[in-house]
Amino acid sequence: MKWRELVHADVPAAVSAVREATDDLLDLSLVPYADDEIVDVMREVEAVRRQLDVVARQLAAEAQGRCLPQRSGSGKLSKFLQETLNLGRGEAAARAAAVDVLADRTDPVSGVVKAPVLVWTAAAQAGGLVSGEHARVIGKIMARIPGSVNADDRELADQQLVGLALHMSPDVLPVLGERILAHLDPDGRRTGDEDRARMRGISLGAQRADGMRPISGLLSPALSAVLDPYLAKAARPGMCNPEDPDSPWVADDRLDAKTVEQAAGRDRRSTAQRTHDAVLALLRPDFGPEKFGAHRGLPVSTIFTMTVTEVERAAGVTTTASGGTISIPEALRLAQNAIPFLAVFDHHGLPLHLGRAKRLASPAQRLALIAAEKGCTRPGCTAPATLTAVHHVQEWAEGGGTDIENLTLACDACHGLVHDGPGGWKTVVLGHDSGYPGRTGWIAPPHQDPSQTPRVNHHHHAPEQVARTLARSRNERRSWLSGERTGDPA
């Protein structure tokens, strides 16, 4: 009989019996037992410990149902457990989180007891088959399943994870959980704004003895969209380096290409250290967003690209200049108090003429290129627009004008590949007879591509490629069906 089915008077007696049995075990000598007997006892004790974790969880759930945290002044269940049981903050929070998904739930109106959210995990732990750590890891994986996944698939995922946990360490489960999540949401499109809002958060751990403090969490697309443009400037090599007295800061008057290049040559920090120092610079009392300045000719700001249809429908996903994605509704909310920049495109999806008779591209031209190209145009390069420079397809020194038709985006590494010497790449504007008229074609050196065929970068235009593939498949199917109906060979 389960402990919760006992009458009230029997619960303290059952707990006393467990306590007495534990005292007896502590007094017994383990020396007379053989090795295999010791291992068997270890496993039995572990199973009992796991079951006692379930008992403790049901007690916590009962306390929550009776509003004991509120009545005691603790407020939240985690705080109540921390104060009542003298637990650490992390352990108390983990136990409170487990109550939400692993404890029986009592309907406040009908009083009917419902099964836990993760019914398979709860049952396995109640049987002593999986540990509390197993249950916590499974709970974290299950929390990432999009809300649009139906209840049957969700329960099947819980069952599969429990089956894996019976024979595997909790450390291995996250890797296997990724495969299950990939099956349920292969392209990430079933994850909605509500799912992302539920998963967002930044956790700060307690300060350690050495003064350092751990941080972990998940950033929402909105926070990423706002933070990425700033980090593209402030976290680049040479910037905001506390170890270099001559390192320029975001609002530094000395901020020019040569100064940053020299500082980058002295910079020995890792990417993580540069990100840390950039965030520290952002939060300095004498600093702020209004002092971000410019990055690659544009104000440090979030740039979205969306079509008129997407704005009218307020649906879908848009990309940012830093290569991230954000839902259209969330992007529109962020843009409510911003100054918009309108980019007009022709029927090929290319920005209209914004040319100027000077060597450097104007901010309007760069914005237009960001909207159209979204990143470096060399085939295979994944650098987003925030890490690119404006490149003249026909070099300025060779008569190329600073017209939008002659401009493209290239990251610093790819930009350096374009030259007339051995191993140099070339860039051309593709003609109307190509599959991508007006786009920038890159020609690899002869030793890489003897055919010298101009190629475009599809990485930043995945939706376009999917649409083209689908259209091609439909046309092939129509041709096949038409041939079948007329008796022509398939």
DSSP string, 92-161: HHHHHHHHHHHS-EE-TTT--EE--SSHHHHHHHHTTSS-HHHHHHHHHHHHTS-TTS-HHHHHHHHHHH
**What is the reported pTM?**
0.47
What pLDDT was estimated at residue 364? 67
Query: Quick one: 17 and 140 in the same domain?
Result: yes
Domain tally, the chain:
4
Give the number of other CB atoms < 10 A from CB of residue 29.
Answer: 6
Looking at 272-346, which runs of residues are DSSP E strands?
A: 294-295, 298-299, 304-305, 317-320, 325-327
Is residue 77 assigned to a domain?
Answer: yes
What pLDDT was estimated at residue 397? 66
Query: Quick one: 403 and 471 in the same domain?
Result: no
What pLDDT was estimated at residue 95? 92
Please name the residue that has the structure tokens 């509390």: 132
Sign of CA dihedral 431, 435, 439, 443: negative
Query: Quick one: 395 and 468 in the same domain?
Result: no
Determine the structural domain holding residue 413 and report its residue range. Answer: 363-457
What pLDDT was estimated at residue 291? 53
Query: Quick one: 29 and 150 in the same domain?
Result: yes
What pLDDT was estimated at residue 47? 92
| Regions of the chain with pLDDT less than 70 | 1-9, 108, 186-191, 251-255, 285-326, 330-362, 364, 396-402, 462-490
Domain end point (choices 168, 187, 206): 187
Query: Quick one: 47 and 141 in the same domain?
Result: yes
Query: Quick one: 32 and 164 in the same domain?
Result: yes
Query: Quick one: 470 and 393 in the same domain?
Result: no
Query: Quick one: 132 and 281 in the same domain?
Result: no
Is residue 341 assigned to a domain?
Answer: no
Rounded Cα distance between 264 and 255, Å, is 12
Query: Quick one: 429 and 472 in the same domain?
Result: no
What pLDDT was estimated at residue 99? 92
